[in-house]
Structure 1
């Protein structure tokens, strides 16, 4: 009986460790691929909308609507503090604010102008004045620009669980 209990403990430890390896693999922070550097959850860049198609989808959404999607766009701004958010260019001078699921990963701060593929949830929200000012401060805006923010605004937002950064 004693050997049987030891055997059960050994199997429990072995299978418990196997499960942790899989979880760590699913949540890889940064993996190199041939043409992209991956952040967050592993994904492929296939079947991604382009920025203009995504703008059309956003314009059809109402505040609080959410849709799972993947799209490609150029980075226009990144949080200068930690890389904890970025803005992407959609068509017609519109942008989308991208945050990262559970702050599970951050982006490099020097990627403005580079192309990314983001995977996650697209939604439309009304951003309050305080949040707008916070993001403006993180983005390096001047005191005058921050003070000029006085009204809430409808924004296109995205919570990414994975990002591919084109090399």
Structure 2
């Protein structure tokens, strides 16, 4: 009997400890605060993203093949997602609000794609800028001919400061001239998207 009481006390103490001191997730951006309303049907923790070398498009072991079929309507890359419930890019400022990050499903027209291997793409924002879309854990790429296609992306949108060197690297990947690359002289505040899935709409 004493053993059962001792076991119950220890179990209660362990549960109380984890409730009072939850382990912090390892995330590239701030998670949505506890108790915050979910956005567009999502309220999970921010997923772990790619490391800096992978974000800059560097090769490494275990990365997906760069042989990707041309973009076709209905094709998905990464996690299988549907267009149901996707918000237009114009609704992103409202969905994000004053927070640093929000998990959403968005639809927009791909305006640029990494021409080295399809490891990122961009979607135009409501204010005429570009939101760079990277892929969770560097686990998948998209076709290099995806530019001009309407797509749905599911994942995390967040605000970030992109270093000058990374901006120059992206410009090279996009096929910009040496002069255009050299014209990038400072870090830039941008909206970034870490996608776990991409679907071609048309």
If the length of structure 2 is used for normalisation, what is the TM-score?
0.62
- Is 2:179 the partner of 1:136? no
Match of 2:86 among 42, 48, 53: 48
Match of 1:109 among 138, 144, 158: 144
Q: Which runs of 5+ in 1 are unaligned?
A: 1-28
The RMSD of aligned alpha carbons is 2.0
Contact 2:105 2:154 survives alignment (8 Å): yes
| Aligned equivalent of 1:72 | 107
Runs of 4+ displaced beyond 3 Å: 55-58
Q: Does 48-57 or 139-148 show the bigger shift? A: 48-57
User: In 2, distance between residues paired with 1:61 and 1:159?
Assistant: 19
Question: How far off is 1:56 after superposition?
Answer: 4.0
- Is 2:160 the partner of 1:160? no
Contact 1:55 1:90 survives alignment (8 Å): no
Contact 1:69 1:121 survives alignment (8 Å): yes
If the length of structure 1 is used for normalisation, what is the TM-score?
0.74
Q: Provide the secondary structure at the position in 1 that maps to 2:75.
A: strand
Task: Tell me the number of residue pairs that the alignment of Structure 1 and Structure 2 aligns.
Answer: 133
In proportion to residue count, which structure has more helix?
1
Specify whether residues 61 and 127 from structure 1 end up closer, same or farther in structure 2 by C-alpha distance, changes over 3 A only.
farther
Contact 1:61 1:124 survives alignment (8 Å): no
1:104-149, Cα deviation, whole Å (9 max, x unpaired)? 1100001111100000011010111101001001011111111111
Question: How far off is 1:61 after superposition?
Answer: 3.9
Question: How far off is 1:42 after superposition?
Answer: 1.6
Q: Which runs of 5+ in 2 are unaligned?
A: 1-64
Q: Provide the secondary structure at the position in 2 that maps to 1:36.
A: coil
